[in-house]
Amino acid sequence: MKEIDLLKEAQRLWNSGDFYSAHEVLEDIWRLFPKEERLKRNCYQGLIRLAIAYNHYICGRKESSLRVLRMAYQQLKECGKVLECVDLEVLLKKVELNISTLEMGGEIKDFLSFDV
- Determine the CATH number of domain 3-103: 1.10.3450.10
> For position 10, what pLDDT does the model report?
95
Distance of alpha carbon 56 from alpha carbon 65, whole angstroms: 5
> For position 94, what pLDDT does the model report?
93
- Domain coordinates in residue numbering, the chain: 3-103
Per-residue pLDDT of the chain (116 residues; tens, 9 = 90+): 798 899 999 999 999 999 999 999 999 999 999 999 999 999 999 999 999 999 999 999 999 999 999 999 999 998 988 887 788 888 899 999 999 999 999 999 888 787 77
A 10 A CB-CB count for 23 gives 22
